[in-house]
């Protein structure tokens, strides 16, 4: 009996240590930045100018910007968890070729920006980018938010709190708590998550047109989460489930072309 008790105590200790390790290391799982931080022209971002913005807590973050042609809209893009904005020149080029102004935000702790990433911090960075674009003369009714994976939580919160022309979400989650609960079913993730990004709770506050894009074979963020967000949206909305696409292979030229088509309809109405 003593051996059984000792074994149970050992298992309990091992479980507690595993939970503690997950709790302490969770931000390394949520955020995966790189710090190459090249200049825009070195990374192949044609027409981009770098600006350093100061968030409300004093953290300085980088923004790459190219102004919109007269009368066109501007896309403010929020990246996924990995790498940095410099890794995404093809996306930049696609938006520019479609005639949009573009702003790519480098979150705190990512690619040349100060600080350490957290949900609260990323929201402050997004607020700084939104405010700066308005100062440059971008009207909210000509400002589009695009979120990729992790960035969908940043974009959704901003669209719920501020006026924007449209919100586009690529492989969005209902919340990171839901993701953690799926990946670690034996851990009380709902009690331990420091950066929950509760997009499903925030979605009803978004009044702008919403486009949600999700791969049907996404094993990281189940497409059912995109569908739940779609049903929670209160304004005009569209859902595109892309057959055969997973998480990483969702992001590419055909996806951006779908977004451009959606924005043409938002700004110009359906073709006659």
Structure tokens at 92: 């930049």
- Beta-bridge mates of residue 135: none
Q: Is 218 a catalytic residue?
A: yes
For 204, other C-beta atoms within 10 Å of its C-beta total 12
| Pick from 128, 113, 123: nearest CA to 36 | 113
- The length of the chain in residues reads 272
Distance between CA atoms of residues 3 and 259, nearest Å: 62
Per the residue annotation, which of 125, 178, 195, 218 is the catalytic one?
A: 218
Q: Is 51 a catalytic residue?
A: no
Distance between CA atoms of residues 196 and 175, nearest Å: 6
For 257, other C-beta atoms within 10 Å of its C-beta total 12
Q: Is 231 a catalytic residue?
A: no
Distance between CA atoms of residues 124 and 76, nearest Å: 15
Per the residue annotation, which of 113, 149, 175, 199 is the catalytic one?
A: 149
Rg (CA), the chain: 20
Please list, in sequence order, all residues whose beta carbon lies within 8 angstroms of the beta carbon of residue 226, skipping any fewer than 6 positions away.
169, 171, 172, 212, 213, 214, 239, 241
Per the residue annotation, which of 127, 161, 247, 264 is the catalytic one?
A: 247
Give me the active site residues, please: 149, 218, 247
């Amino acid at each position: 009996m003593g051996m059984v008790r000792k074994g149970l105590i050992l298992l309990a200790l091992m479980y507690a240590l595993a939970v503690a390790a997950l709790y302490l290391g969770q931000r390394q799982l949520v955020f995966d930045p790189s710090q190459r931080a090249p200049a825009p022209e070195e990374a192949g971002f044609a027409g981009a100018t770098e600006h350093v913005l100061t968030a409300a807590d004093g953290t300085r973050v980088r923004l790459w910007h190219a102004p919109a042609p007269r009368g066109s809209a501007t896309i403010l893009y929020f990246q996924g968890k990995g790498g940095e904005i410099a890794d995404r020149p093809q996306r930049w080029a696609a938006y520019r070729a479609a005639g949009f102004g573009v702003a790519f935000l480098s979150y705190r702790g990512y690619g040349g920006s100060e600080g350490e990433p957290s949900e609260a911090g990323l929201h402050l960075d997004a607020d700084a980018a939104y405010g700066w674009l308005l100062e440059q003369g971008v009207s909210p009714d000509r400002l589009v938010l695009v979120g990729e994976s992790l960035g969908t939580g940043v974009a959704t919160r901003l669209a719920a709190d501020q006026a924007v022309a449209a919100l586009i979400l690529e492989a969005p989650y209902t919340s990171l708590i839901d993701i953690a609960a799926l990946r670690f079913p034996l851990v009380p993730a709902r009690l331990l998550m420091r950066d929950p990004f509760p997009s499903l709770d925030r979605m009803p506050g978004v009044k702008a047109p919403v486009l949600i894009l999700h791969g049907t074979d996404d094993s990281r963020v189940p497409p059912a989460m995109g569908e739940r967000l779609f049903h929670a949206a209160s304004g005009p909305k569209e859902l595109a489930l892309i057959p055969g696409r997973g998480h990483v292979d969702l992001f590419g030229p055909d996806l951006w072309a779908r977004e451009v088509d959606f924005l043409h309809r938002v700004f110009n109405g359906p073709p006659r």
